[in-house]
Amino acid sequence: MNTGKLQYLHAVSVAEQTNNNTTSWVGLFPIQAFEISKGQTFETHTEGDLESIEVFSNLITKPGHLELSIHQFDPLEKKWSDAIGTTTVEVKKSDEGSWMKFNVPSCHLTKGKHYGFKLVSHDCLIGIGEAMGSSSNPPLTNGQEWKFAVNGQHTSFSYCSLAFKVALKAA
């Protein structure tokens, strides 16, 4: 399912992957009482101030708060910088099946650089839309999906991508 291209009149799309054929979970799993955080890296082809990042919400099993942080990313070393911007949205059951928009103030992205965003929640459980591909046919060629565990371990997946849209303010 293609969930739709970015259609802003006042913003420019710099990275997006809108296909959605599976679900990636973020948040607090109630029975095992552990948290899963996810992330997505991407490369920008335009420079400007960040307008928003959107992720597609497939399922919401427990409403709460979802935090998004944006980071510079080194694709050669596979290292995330400290957050250069953070915002939180309230997740409601009515958000299920729609794009959730995160406005990140005062964040400038540079053309040709790599960035990543992380999604974290300590009180909700949400299924984010995800595209599954293969090593020979990834859904996004200039980025990867990431999984972060509470113990600091992290894993990247070149054959997976969250359903996301990144928009910069038009110059």
Can you tell me the distance from the alpha carbon of 77 to that of 74, in angstroms, rounded to the nearest whole number? 6
One-letter amino acid of 96: E
One-letter amino acid of 101: K
pLDDT at position 10:
67
Can you tell me the distance from the alpha carbon of 87 to that of 102, in angstroms, rounded to the nearest whole number? 7
Per-residue pLDDT of the chain (171 residues; tens, 9 = 90+): 555 554 444 678 889 999 999 999 999 887 777 788 999 999 998 899 999 999 999 999 999 999 999 999 999 999 999 999 999 999 999 999 999 999 998 899 999 999 999 999 999 999 999 998 887 888 887 888 889 877 677 888 888 889 999 999 865
pLDDT at position 56:
97
Q: Where are the domains of the chain?
A: 22-93+106-169
